[in-house]
Amino acid sequence: MSPVARQPGVVQAPADAVFVAEQLRPYLEDLLAREQAAWTEQGAPWPDPPAALLAYLADGKALRPRFCYWGHAIAGEGTGPLLVQAAAALELLHAFALIHDDLMDGSDTRRGRPALHREFSGQHRAHGWAGDPDGYGRSMALLTGDLAFAVASRIAAGLPGPAQRVWREMVDELVIGQFLDLAGTARQDRSDAVARTTTLLKSGRYTVTGPLRLGAVLAGLDELPSDLARYGDLVGEAFQLSDDLLGVFGDPRRTGKPVGEDLAAGKPTQLLACAADLLPPHGQALLALTGTPGFSRSDIAELTDELIWCGARDHVERKARGNVEAACALVDGAALPPGVAAALRSLATAATDRHR
Amino acid sequence: MSPVARQPGVVQAPADAVFVAEQLRPYLEDLLAREQAAWTEQGAPWPDPPAALLAYLADGKALRPRFCYWGHAIAGEGTGPLLVQAAAALELLHAFALIHDDLMDGSDTRRGRPALHREFSGQHRAHGWAGDPDGYGRSMALLTGDLAFAVASRIAAGLPGPAQRVWREMVDELVIGQFLDLAGTARQDRSDAVARTTTLLKSGRYTVTGPLRLGAVLAGLDELPSDLARYGDLVGEAFQLSDDLLGVFGDPRRTGKPVGEDLAAGKPTQLLACAADLLPPHGQALLALTGTPGFSRSDIAELTDELIWCGARDHVERKARGNVEAACALVDGAALPPGVAAALRSLATAATDRHR
């Protein structure tokens, strides 16, 4: 059906990639073009946030729409407008989460480019506008995140009842996860329980399990089968563990994100929960300094080395790999339509083998 | 029916106040208690944001629920669960707007108390937590605002289709209005058109016209009658004009809000749009300095005086009063059930005669 798939001599694009390129992207472009038109009609002479949001959404791997697509493929055929709508809501929810997350963390880069608040402050400086450029950048990013969430909520409200229930739970989990991240950082909590809940709620659930569930209920299932829900949580957790590892040991030129920030803040990650068990006294002393103004760049480098030596990095890497293996075994054992198991296996790897 | 109304010898409380006290408040308390329980079930050991939100909502005059109540009374009898639900969504939307607005403006007080981000930073300092207290306060407030909006959207998604349409338009207008406020400040826009659109969209519509419409469609009307929509926009605009005046000429001890911030920032208010026409050269020179770092406390005081002398304050005061009079004339001329016209007249005055 798709132009991509029909080209002779070209390897057939995966069905989820075709879905994203041919259905989701045009839908999002149209949606935000209409949003921009609505702004102009309301008398807003400068409809910047819808334009900024569209540029923001053009980027990224569309992982959540792809999981949603395969969740739907478990029980349904084809795609249909509701699936596109759900996928768009997921992308907008993700944009909202990233934009507000970068604001909360004060992160200045994302996907190898300035974070949205930095883009807006740059625009302010370039025009020589009035007021504080950084304050303007933060406010505009906050508002663009709000817009993303408003449009996501509006679209989600048009989904059938069971899908709305999944959506509500996913949004609630995301907010709770973000809060645990903040509160655990402030309290320098090193418990494994808080770290695991944070990992799952702040990203794992809305990245993998939630989108799978959303797709499945849209295809008419009462609920996602339990082995696939387990697959989702395993892959979702591994996704965030990989992200945590990249945030400490990654190469910013490849990840497009800053390195060492999570460590300097002392975030409640499973890596640091594990380190609290394994580190020798010198490492423990460094760990106790995270989140304090005295924690220097050289302390970050030293603690990074200590996390390798004490085995915490290996532990988290093994856990992420083990999750992916267990998840793949689950889909192999499940009775799934042809192609779905292979797609879920390949997506589990794509989601956790992350360079950006 | 109400304990307030039944007390012998006590003046009967207005029906909207009874609605707020006996139906809306218990509903919000129950809603946020359940939200808090959901957080604990999800493994969040510190469910601070739902608690903070409940405390935040306990305050305020519940103007939006009251307009919604009277919008419903135009065509319906009694109240019913959907009206309570809509009123709760309005209060949560307002909390979201205030919390994020205070963050964007960097305002430190609200309702005579520290703004929410200041409350959270105070909590951080009191506990001696890790990291920057102000950054924590801002992040927590941002997230609590997100929670308010998430819960509001969830409740609104349960309303019938026509009410959802009104809700969507109201949310869109609010976001556009907030953006115009930011963008007009950065651009130091002094056009009357931008100032009027900002006034209406950033607060007038979601405070008066939107709630009236929401109530009316919940009572079964296709749309709010046009004279009442006009009433809503007139009162909504007057509401924001009064707020603008208080932000420049108010007494912070009575308003509970800081004074002079709008002027220092050079916000795109109708007051400054009018001043741009009326100010003599010295005042114009001061006006040109708003939004720059060189604009001092004594410049604020001087420009405040200039706004009085040039007649800009009088102009805006007259406009606000004129709006309320015209709005009251409209309800007097409309065919309304007994009591509704009197209530709308009294609410128009309450909304614009503001001390806090």
A119 in any annotated domain: yes
The whole-number average pLDDT for the span A218-235 is 97
pLDDT at B202 over 60: yes
Q: Is B176 an interface residue toward A (CB < 8 Å)?
A: yes
Q: Do A183 and B153 touch (CB under 8 A)?
A: no
Better pLDDT: A355 or B89: B89
pLDDT of B354: 65
| Three-point CA angle B189, B191, B193, nearest 5° | 120
Q: How far is B145 from chain A (nearest CA, A)?
A: 10
Q: Does B142 touch chain A (CB under 8 A)?
A: yes
Per residue in B107-144, pLDDT (tens digit) is: 888 888 899 999 999 999 999 999 999 999 999 999 99
Residue B34 touches chain A, beta carbons under 8 Å: no
A259-306 per-position pLDDT tens digit: 899 999 999 999 999 999 999 999 999 999 999 988 999 999 999 999
pLDDT number for residue B111: 82
Residue contact A130–B156, C-beta within 8 A: no
Inter-chain Cβ pairs, chain A and chain B, closer than 8 A: 160
Which of B44, B182, B265 comes nearest A179 by C-beta? Answer: B44
Measured CA distances, A282 to A102, B197, B205 (Å) = 31, 61, 60
Residue B335's contacts (CB-CB under 8 Å, 6 or more residues apart) are none
Domain tally, chain B: 1
The span from the CA of A92 to the CA of A95, in Å, is: 5
- Give the closest residue to A150 by CA, choosing from B57, B170, B199, B101: B170
Determine whether the interchain pair B182/A143 forms a contact, defined as Cβ–Cβ distance below 8 Å. Answer: yes
- CA–CA min distance B10, chain A (Å): 44
CB A135 within 8 A of CB B265: no
Question: Chain A partners of B129 at a C-beta cutoff of 8 Å?
Answer: 186-188
Distance of alpha carbon A21 from alpha carbon A18, whole angstroms: 5
Cβ atoms of residues B351 and B235 within 8 Å: yes
The angle, 0 to 180 degrees and rounded to 10, between the axes of the packed helices B161-186 and B133-156 is 150
**B42 vs A130: CB contact, 8 Å cut-off?**
no
Band of residue B333 on the pLDDT scale cut at 50, 70, 90: very high
Distance CA B205, CA B90 (A): 12
Q: Are A273 and A195 a contacting pair, CB within 8 Å?
A: yes
pLDDT at A13: 72
Look up tokens 């969040």; give the residue.
B44
When pLDDT is averaged across residues B189-201 and rounded to a whole number, the result is 97
In angstroms, the CA B295 to CA B185 distance is 14
B125 at A interface, C-beta within 8 A: no
CB-nearest to B182 from A103, A140, A156 is A140
Phi (first) and psi of residue A113, to 5 degrees: -125, 170
Complex confidence, ipTM: 0.94
Residue A110, H or E segment: strand A109-110
DSSP A113: E
- What range defines the domain where residue B209 resides? 14-352
Band the pLDDT of B58: cuts 50, 70, 90.
confident
Residues of B within 8 A of A193 (CB-CB) are 43
Q: Report the number of secondary-structure helices (H) and strands (E) in chain B.
A: 19, 2
**Residue A173 domain-assigned (yes or no):** yes
Chain B neighbours among A 50-89 (CB < 8 Å)?
none
Report the distance separating Cα A23 and Cα A31, nearest Å: 12
- Residue A4 located in a structural domain: no
Biggest CA pair distance of chain B: 64
Query: Best of B42, B138, B290 to disrupt the A interface by mutation (most A CBs within 10 Å)?
Result: B42
Q: Which residues of A touch B143 (CB under 8 A)?
A: 100, 104, 175, 178-179, 182
CATH of the domain at A208: 1.10.600.10
Domain assignment of residue B268, yes or no: yes
What's the pLDDT score for residue A1?
Answer: 39
Judged by CB atoms closer than 8 Å, whether chains meet at B175 and A124 is answered as no
User: Taking all residues of chain A, what is their mean pLDDT, rounded to a whole number?
Assistant: 93
Euclidean distance between CA atoms A211 and A87, whole angstroms: 8
Rounded to a whole number of angstroms, the distance from the CA of A326 to the nearest CA of chain B is 24
Q: What does the pLDDT read at residue A259?
A: 87
Q: What's the rounded Cα separation, in Å, for the pair A186 and A291?
A: 8
Is B148 at the interface with chain A, CB within 8 A? no
**Interchain proximity A179–B38, CB inside 8 Å:** no
CA distances from A254 to A128, A204, A249, A270, A312 (A): 33, 22, 11, 23, 23
* Average confidence (pLDDT) over A85-97: 98
Distance from the Cα of B121 to chain A's closest Cα (Å) equals 11
CA A147 – CA A203 distance, rounded (Å)? 20
Give domain status of residue A281, yes or no: yes
A155 contacts A88 by C-beta, under 8 angstroms = yes
Q: Which residues of A217-245 are buried (b: 16+ CB within 10 A; e: fewer)?
A: bbbebeebbebbbbbbbbbbbbbbbbbbb
Residue B171 to residue A154, Cβ atoms within 8 A: yes
**Which two tokens mark B279?**
């100010």
Assigned token pair, A320:
């992420």
